[in-house]
């Protein structure tokens, strides 16, 4: 397996290289509920919720690429994986973390992505997604996971191998024993992938948790689970493999003090450990609930974690005699040339969701607490989203691939229009022409 690989955008440009100590944050996946930021209701998500999510995450500067963060309740279950991917493809140019729900899911989703490449070989050369392969514990992969792994390898889709290692339940309660169990599960998946197609990119990943002996829950943010995250990350790096983890999220039910502590603490640990793809922002309640306000707050936490790991190096600092003279002459450094030159890169200034105002300024601005600030940020960013252009023939083919997997004639859910209607043209004309030819052939075959 390669020690690193590059993800490409929808239009084929390099976007993120995973390997070494390069850190990227992406939203958590597997959500089954949405915390409605307008009503406060906790409910099953709809297509309109996912559309708002993908439009929001597309513009967050510290979230490297989106994930298919939650499933929608208004689409047939057997094609809900493809529906999520479709919504990502038509709303964002960035690569995506996704995955299939059934043994038939990967080929359909791979064909969808291939519409944005010249051919299958081009999709392998310029991958635009990471697919999650879950190991279920007890040294087993389900039949669906095995088929998905095989299909991903055949299509050259990078995969993250994610054992759900539950310390004290289906893995040893001790860290060394749990790390051994976890490593066996990951290596089994990586070996299978390499047997199918040598050189298939694979991340040494995981989603460990510590079984709570009183509550019978499985907190992923238990301190022991975070220890296991950093341990298996070190093992993956020792083996020369890119790494993934479920961190920068919270087991709390709300965007509260616990959520902030768990999210930032684990985000910082992930950054310091050099985890290449960190899945988590936006997630609450044992990865069951997704929250858009938490996502914009987590974006700021991830930005600070990324700032913390930037290298420290002299920047016109040595020798310091000129700086000492400037300080003594003015009694401050605020207007010094050194400050004016370097502060934009050296000082991380959080956005409006993060409170840095003094009390007087905060009160003049309306005394908004965290929830109010994050909700306002969500709405402002949604209003600012600019749609991207998708060739109509390609969009028809995407929808045809999805409906071909449905059991009935039920229409696909409506996709809400963006508040701004001027699309961003991004597709390479050469690829667009190839896509049009492909779509015409498919229509003729039908």
Q: What is the secondary structure of 199-264 as a DSSP string?
A: T--EEE----EE--TTT----TTSHHHHHHHHHHHHHHHHTT--BEEE-S---SSSSSHHHHHHHH
253 part of a folded domain = yes
- Domain presence at residue 34: yes
Q: What is the pLDDT of residue 137?
A: 82
The residues near 273 (Cβ < 8 Å, ≥ 6 apart) are 229, 230, 233, 234, 245
Peptide bond into 319 cis (omega under 30): yes
Residues ≥6 apart with Cβ < 8 Å to 35: 41, 42, 254, 284, 289, 290, 291, 292, 293, 294
DSSP 107: H
Rounded mean pLDDT of 229-234? Answer: 99
pLDDT digits (tens, 9 = 90+) for 45-101: 999 999 999 999 999 999 999 999 999 999 999 999 999 999 999 999 999 999 999
Q: Taking a C-beta distance cutoff of 8 angstroms, is the pair 217, 28 a contact?
A: no
Q: What is the CATH number of the domain that holds 20?
A: 3.20.20.480
Whole-angstrom distance, CA of residue 89 vs CA of residue 82 = 10
Rg of the chain over Cα atoms, rounded to whole angstroms, equals 23
Give tens-digit pLDDT for 351-363.
Answer: 999 999 999 999 9
pTM of the complete model beyond 0.85? yes
pLDDT beyond 80 at 108: yes
> Could you tell me how far CA 264 lies from the centroid of its own chain?
16
Highest mean pLDDT among 239-243, 327-331, 336-340: 239-243
Burial of 349 per CB tally in 10 Å (0-12, 13-18, 19+):
exposed
What's phi and psi for 422, nearest 5 deg?
A: -85, 110
Q: What is the DSSP letter of 429?
A: H
User: What's the confidence (pLDDT) of residue 79?
Assistant: 95
Q: Cβ neighbours of residue 239 under 8 Å, at least 6 residues apart?
A: 204
Mean pLDDT check: name the lowest of 263-267, 345-349, 429-433.
429-433
Boundaries of domain holding 292: 5-308
- Does residue 279 sit within a domain? yes
Q: Is residue 72 part of a domain?
A: yes
pLDDT of residue 440 exceeding 80: no
> By the 8 A CB rule, do 69 and 41 touch?
no
Question: What integer pLDDT is reported at residue 433 of this predicted model?
Answer: 56
Q: Is residue 387 in a domain?
A: no
* 53: nearest Cα among 299, 261, 248: 299
Query: How much is the pLDDT for 89?
Result: 98
pLDDT (mean) for 387-404? 96
Record the tokens describing residue 350, joined without a space. Answer: 């959080």
Query: Dihedrals φ, ψ of 288, to 5°?
Result: -100, -25
Number of domains in the chain: 1
Q: What is the mean pLDDT of the chain?
A: 94
Domain assignment present for 348: no
Q: Is 33 helix (H, G, I), strand (E, B) or coil?
A: strand
30 confidence band (pLDDT: 50, 70, 90):
confident
Per-residue confidence (pLDDT) for residue 409, from 0 to 100: 79
- What is the layout of strands, in order, in the sheet containing 277-279? 24-26, 277-279, 244-246
Flag whether 203 is in a domain.
Answer: yes
**Strands annotated E in 301-418:** none
How sure is the predictor about 194, in pLDDT bands with cuts at 50, 70 and 90?
very high
Q: CA 271 → CA 1, 251, 301, 402, distances in Å?
A: 23, 20, 11, 37
Can you tell me the distance from the alpha carbon of 324 to that of 331, in angstroms, rounded to the nearest whole number? 10
Residue owning tokens 């964002």: 92
């Amino acid at each position: 397996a390669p020690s690193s690989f590059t993800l490409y955008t929808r239009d084929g440009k390099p976007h993120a290289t995973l390997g070494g100590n390069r850190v990227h944050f992406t939203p958590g996946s597997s959500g089954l509920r949405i915390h409605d930021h307008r009503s406060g209701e906790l409910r099953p998500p709809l297509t309109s919720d996912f559309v708002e999510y993908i439009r929001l995450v597309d513009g967050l500067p510290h979230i490297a690429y989106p994930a298919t963060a939650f499933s929608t309740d208004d689409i047939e279950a057997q094609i809900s994986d493809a529906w999520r991917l479709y919504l990502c493809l038509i709303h964002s140019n960035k690569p995506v973390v996704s995955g299939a729900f059934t043994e038939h899911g990967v080929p359909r989703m791979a064909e969808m992505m291939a519409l944005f490449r010249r051919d299958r070989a081009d999709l392998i050369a310029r991958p635009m997604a990471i697919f999650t392969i879950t190991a279920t514990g007890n040294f087993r992969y389900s039949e669906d996971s095995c088929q998905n792994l095989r299909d991903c390898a055949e299509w050259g889709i990078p995969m993250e191998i994610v054992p759900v290692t539950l310390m004290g339940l289906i893995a040893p309660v001790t860290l060394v024993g749990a790390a051994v169990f976890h490593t066996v599960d990951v290596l089994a998946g990586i070996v299978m992938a390499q047997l199918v197609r040598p050189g298939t990119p694979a991340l040494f990943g995981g989603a460990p948790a510590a079984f709570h002996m009183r509550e019978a829950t499985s907190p992923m943010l238990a301190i022991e689970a975070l220890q296991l995250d950093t341990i298996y990350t070190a093992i993956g790096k020792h083996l020369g493999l890119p790494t993934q983890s479920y961190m920068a999220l919270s087991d709390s039910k709300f965007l509260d003090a616990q959520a902030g502590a768990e999210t930032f603490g684990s985000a910082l640990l992930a950054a310091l450990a050099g985890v290449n793809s960190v899945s988590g922002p936006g997630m609450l309640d044992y990865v069951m609930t997704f929250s858009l306000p938490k996502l914009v707050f987590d974006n700021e936490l991830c930005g600070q974690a990324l700032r913390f790991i930037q290298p420290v190096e002299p920047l016109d600092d040595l020798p310091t005699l000129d700086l000492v003279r400037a300080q003594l002459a003015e009694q401050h450094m605020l207007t010094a040339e050194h400050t004016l030159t370097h502060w934009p890169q050296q000082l991380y200034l959080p956005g409006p969701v993060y409170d840095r105002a003094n009390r007087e300024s905060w009160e003049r601005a309306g005394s908004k607490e965290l929830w109010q600030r994050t909700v306002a940020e969500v709405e402002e960013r949604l209003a600012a989203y600019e749609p991207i252009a998708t060739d109509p023939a390609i969009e028809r083919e995407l929808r045809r691939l999805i409906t071909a997997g449905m059991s009935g004639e039920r229409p696909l859910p409506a996709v809400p229009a963006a508040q701004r209607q001027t699309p961003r043209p991004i597709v390479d004309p050469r690829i667009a022409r190839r896509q049009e030819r492909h779509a015409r052939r498919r229509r003729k075959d039908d």
